[in-house]
Chain A
Amino acid sequence: MSVGQIFFYSVVKIAVIFPVLMGTVAYLTWLERKLIGRFQQRIGPYRVGPFGLLQPIADGIKLFMKEDIIPTNADRVVFVLAPLLSMATAVLAVAVIPFGPSFHLFGFDLGRVQIADVNAGLLVLLGVGSLGVYGVFLAGWSSGNKYSLLGALRSSAQIFSYELTLGLSVVTVLMAAGTLKMSGIADSQGDGFWRWWAFSSQWWVLPGLIGFTLYLISAFAETNRLPFDLPEAETELVAGYHLEYSSMKFAMFFMAEYLNMIIVCSIAVSLFLGAWHSPLPFRPFILLPGWLWFLAKVFALLFFFIWIRATLPRFRYDQLMRFGWKIMLPLALANIFLAAVGLMLGG
């Protein structure tokens, strides 16, 4: 393929994937409210549209009509830049996620359902992920409010601490699959769920399972979800870094958070849960298209995220830090060692 062709196909894929993604963000808020309602013996939103289905649109209109306030003390440029950065870094990661295998439409081979299959795919994810902290921190700093700054420090320290574990937990997959290319990692997990890296690491189950668990826990912390939602502990601390934001700027932080949730789930699916492969490698399961399996797995994980939110109370901040540095990090390091020994003996 020529460069122009690659460019054209990428644009087409972005044009398909991006609206789907944003739609998922909108309806994820609906799903969360509906599910949390059910978990708490309530009905959840039901007034706007059938089953409350138009609720996200109503929310959007409401946020859009709100007054857009920029505090007097704020650093105006950075204040406007911060929510944009939050969104941008969240969206960027989508570029390398392998949503499905090769795809044919009207007889054309469109390639994989993946915007860019770069060689350093996993590194791209880690790199883009490490930029996410800018949006949070700059928002808190530029607000010109000490509570915002303290909130930003709190959230950044949290994101830092758990990013280490996140990166290290992914290394086991990298060692087992032997490639950084996302499509390569996805391809290495075909033929049934016992080949997924969460359940196998070529010779026994432990490193993969520990890695997957560590990844999930740090993913909760990375996306500021309960039990790690200290950045916006509205009941005991003032909200935090987005304290001074209103209207669409606040909505962008909100969207970035949900986007991040979808992305960490997608990464978990593509690294640990067999990407687009069906769990059982025979009919009728393999008849379903790959992207549908991918979406199903992502939604299963999202459901798990919401379920945890309805179940667990919030950590205290010192507990959060202690857990991250004294338990998660040593475990992740030990797990890499375990995987290395395993690969050497078994592989």
Chain B
Amino acid sequence: MFGALFFWLCATIAFFFGIGVVVARNPMHSALSLVATLTATAGLFLLLQAEFIAWILIVVYTGAVMVLMIFVISLLNLQKDDPIDWNPARRWGVGMVVLFALVFLVYLFRDPLAGFFSIPQAPPTPPEWGSITVVALDLFTRYLLPFELASVLLTAAVIGAVAIARPESPERETKER
């Protein structure tokens, strides 16, 4: 009962703000809609008992990636988008694509949609299933190599970014006080 309420709340927020990301004329509103969508998605992960993923989604995506995005948007001083020119060709084209996507999605999810108002129950999981302990055990034993490779890649990317952002000659660097 509470699970169902929570599911519909998160799903509705994710859905409408997801539309907002595309529809908003102001880039900042677009980015903020994405923040809301991501937060609601984290709620959906919580419902699947994937606690760790849910909170990492909040920390990394809403807390870091989106904040940087918003930084950039506010500094670029972007203007509002021009209203879209809805000529017949575009109207029909977009309409057909949306219709096709809708039919495809309905076909894809026909089973869950059959029981539209009953929330598909997540299969029963062991009590510690999505917890950080289990995730960490997997990360540091079975998936150790990909995990370490990813961290090496990230470190290399950070060093690369610093190298690119540095002034060319050390003399031009402003002297520290």
From B3, which residue of chain A is reached at the shortest CB distance? A3
Interface of chain A residues 113 through 137 with chain B (CB within 8 A): 118-120, 123-124, 126-128, 130-131, 133-134, 137
A-B interface, 9 closest residue pairs, ranked by CB to CB distance from nearest: A130-B63, A127-B58, A123-B55, A120-B51, A127-B59, A127-B55, A141-B74, A3-B2, A119-B131
From B62, which residue of chain A is reached at the shortest CB distance? A131
Contacts of A75 on B, CB cut-off 8 Å? 26, 28
- B28: shortest Cβ distance to chain A, in Å? 7
Whether the pair A137, B70 counts as a contact (CB closer than 8 A) is yes
Q: How many residues of A contact B (CB 8 A)?
A: 28
Contacts of A123 on B, CB cut-off 8 Å? 51-52, 55-56, 59, 132
Q: Does B145 contact A (CB under 8 A)?
A: no
Q: Does B40 contact A (CB under 8 A)?
A: no
**Complex CA distance for A138 and B62, rounded to whole angstroms:** 14
Whether the pair B71, A119 counts as a contact (CB closer than 8 A) is no
Q: A130-B62, A137-B71, A180-B132 are in contact. Are A124 and B55 (CB under 8 A)?
A: yes
Q: Does B11 contact A (CB under 8 A)?
A: no
Q: Does B1 contact A (CB under 8 A)?
A: yes
Q: How many residues of B contact A (CB 8 A)?
A: 27
Q: A120-B51, A120-B131 are in contact. Are A131 and B58 (CB under 8 A)?
A: yes
Q: A3-B1, A120-B51 are in contact. Are A127 and B28 (CB under 8 A)?
A: no
Q: Does A226 contact B (CB under 8 A)?
A: no
Q: Does A264 contact B (CB under 8 A)?
A: no
Q: Does A149 contact B (CB under 8 A)?
A: yes
Whether the pair B59, A126 counts as a contact (CB closer than 8 A) is yes
From A141, which residue of chain B is reached at the shortest CB distance? B74
Indicate with 1 or 0, residue by residue over A242-282, a CB within 8 angstroms of chain B CB atoms: 00000000000000000000000000000000000000000
Q: A119-B131, A130-B62 are in contact. Are A318 and B177 (CB under 8 A)?
A: yes
Contacts of B176 on A, CB cut-off 8 Å? 322
- B43: shortest Cβ distance to chain A, in Å? 12
Q: Does B67 contact A (CB under 8 A)?
A: yes
From B64, which residue of chain A is reached at the shortest CB distance? A130
- A101: shortest Cβ distance to chain B, in Å? 23
**Complex CA distance for A302 and B51, rounded to whole angstroms:** 32
Q: Does B35 contact A (CB under 8 A)?
A: yes
Contacts of B71 on A, CB cut-off 8 Å? 137, 153, 156
Whether the pair B70, A120 counts as a contact (CB closer than 8 A) is no
From B60, which residue of chain A is reached at the shortest CB distance? A130
- A283: shortest Cβ distance to chain B, in Å? 37
**Complex CA distance for A96 and B130, rounded to whole angstroms:** 19
Indicate with 1 or 0, residue by residue over A1-23, a CB within 8 angstroms of chain B CB atoms: 00110010000000000000000
Q: Does B44 contact A (CB under 8 A)?
A: no
**Complex CA distance for A322 and B28, rounded to whole angstroms:** 30
Q: Does A310 contact B (CB under 8 A)?
A: no
Q: Does B14 contact A (CB under 8 A)?
A: no
Contacts of A153 on B, CB cut-off 8 Å? 71, 75
Q: Does A54 contact B (CB under 8 A)?
A: no
**Complex CA distance for A141 and B67, rounded to whole angstroms:** 12
Whether the pair A118, B51 counts as a contact (CB closer than 8 A) is yes
Q: Does A78 contact B (CB under 8 A)?
A: yes
Contacts of A3 on B, CB cut-off 8 Å? 1-3
Whether the pair B2, A7 counts as a contact (CB closer than 8 A) is yes
Interface of chain A residues 71 through 95 with chain B (CB within 8 A): 75, 77-78
From B35, which residue of chain A is reached at the shortest CB distance? A134
Contacts of A318 on B, CB cut-off 8 Å? 177
Contacts of A133 on B, CB cut-off 8 Å? 63, 67
